[in-house]
Amino acid sequence: MKFITEIKQLFQCDSMSISERMNTVETSVPFNITIQELPKAAAIQSVCALVPARDTFTLTFKNDSDELLTVSNKQTTAVDFSAFIDGMASDDILEARIQIDKSIEANKFSIYDFNSFTRDLLRKPLTEVLMWFSNLLSNNDYLIFEVYDYDISLSTGTMGFVSNTNALFTPKVNRRQRLNACRETAYFYNMNVFEVIPDDFKIEGIEHSESCLKPLFGRLSTILSLAYMGSSSSILDNSLNIQINGQRTSTYTLKLDDIQENAKWLSIYSWIYTDGNPTDKSLIAHNIISLHCKYAALLDVDDKVFDSIKSNYKMYLRNNVGQYFEKRAARIDRIVYTLVQVNIACEETKFGIRQEQALKFFEQMTKYKNIRVKGLMTVAPKVELNEDVRPFFSGLRELFESIKNEYAGAKNISMEYLSMGMSNDYQIAIEEGANIIRVGTAIFGSRQYNIPNLNA
């Protein structure tokens, strides 16, 4: 439904200038028609019926006596021009204005002239744009923008822009829960004014037709990711003020207009607020970022920084697990003997500490009285040739010897066992120093999984 086109055709006025702002559509200047060109009342009512009931369409006429006649899609009586044009000649002129006041209903919002709407949006200060979306989303978990004159299919975590009014949209995040998590984890001074989250602007869906919303949304998601990552933050005087309390305390003032999209900040934000404890994650992030930004600009965070944040968090979790087992073992007066798993190939799909983290990890383990570390274990990566695993086994043996020498005097660390190698590569593992191998398949055969027949 191209409503603007229908209006222009109704009045046979292709030059009609329509301007769409955030909440309103209107004619930029009044347009003139003669009495002879005035459409039939039934035709005007048919066009009024095209406007969604949630919006208010108003068509105002003014005659040469400055009398006004208003037609609206909300009126219940028939349109009657007879008294208004009584006594006027066929070539007398009427001045006409159009206005549509838009509102939200059932999580839907209208856009009648997409190009005009986006031009206005891009001209606004970023603070005004943030406040506008905040107001739109304040009582809604998600929002669907129905675009009537432009072929588009674009979705964020909580908003969809669609040209098909029957299109379905499913939000990617529970907005209310995420807002609460952000409120509990970060102190964003203006959150009551800018009650929006990066997910509101994170483009998730397939996009039909190039949209100028993409760069704008990228910048907004970066600004909000920074705000919710900091220990405290505020938006004042068109600047984002951030304080990060980590290994060192750092304060930054960034002009909003200077902040460009940085997908890595959005990744850090998403990692903090997805799964796990966001408070713990943000503390780790603050420590790493505060050290990194001693020598680099805050906006220059890259993959290395993000990888360091994640690896330090994994170390933090392992330390917490160690403390848990230490307390449980002490409570029942029991000694727990364990091997430490090493992710020797640094595979994302496998557990274990990484080789470069090992010495620091074992330093932490020396603090536990009821946990006794007896050696190392690993699961080698899948390779085409068995011989290709040899460097990983030899690398673990070298680490084993290094830890054995470094912690020779530790009471709870005795490096006795090196567990590596399975049925297909145990011979290489033994050659490289393994004294525990796992060869269940070679002895008992491949494991048989009893999968129930769901179609039976």
Secondary structure of 299-318 in the HEC alphabet?
HHCCHHHHHHHHHHHHHHHH
Q: 343 lies in a domain?
A: yes
Q: 455 lies in a domain?
A: no
| Cβ partners under 8 Å of residue 55, min gap 6 | 73, 100, 101, 102, 103, 110
What SS3 string covers 350-414? CCCECHHHHHHHHHHHCCCCCEEEEEEECCCCCCCCHHHHHHHHHHHHHHHHHHHHHCCCCCCEE
Q: 307 lies in a domain?
A: no
Q: 412 lies in a domain?
A: yes
Claim to verify: residue 271 and residue 341 sit in the same structural domain: no
Q: How far apart are CA 210 and CA 213, in angstroms?
A: 9
Claim to verify: residue 90 and residue 190 sit in the same structural domain: no
Q: What is the CATH number of the domain that holds 378?
A: 3.20.20.10
| Number of domains making up the chain | 3
Q: What is the pTM of this model?
A: 0.71
Q: 335 lies in a domain?
A: yes
Claim to verify: residue 257 and residue 120 sit in the same structural domain: yes
What is the chain's pLDDT, residue by residue, as a tens digit (456 residues)?
688 888 888 888 877 888 999 999 998 778 888 888 888 888 988 889 999 999 999 999 998 888 898 999 998 888 888 888 888 888 889 899 999 999 999 999 999 999 899 999 999 999 999 999 999 999 899 999 999 988 888 899 999 999 877 778 889 999 999 999 999 899 999 999 999 999 999 998 776 665 788 899 999 999 999 999 999 999 999 999 999 988 788 899 999 999 999 999 999 999 999 988 888 889 889 988 888 877 778 888 888 888 888 888 877 776 776 676 677 677 778 888 899 999 888 887 777 888 888 888 888 888 888 889 999 999 988 888 889 999 999 999 999 999 999 998 888 999 999 999 998 889 999 999 999 998 888 888 776 655 555 444
Q: 263 lies in a domain?
A: yes
Q: How far apart are CA 68 and CA 62, in angstroms?
A: 5
Q: Which domain holds residue 186?
A: 108-301
Alpha-carbon torsion (125, 127, 131, 133), positive or negative = positive
Claim to verify: residue 81 and residue 127 sit in the same structural domain: no
Claim to verify: residue 89 and residue 116 sit in the same structural domain: no
Q: How far apart are CA 86 and CA 126, in angstroms?
A: 51
Claim to verify: residue 114 and residue 252 sit in the same structural domain: yes
Claim to verify: residue 274 and residue 336 sit in the same structural domain: no
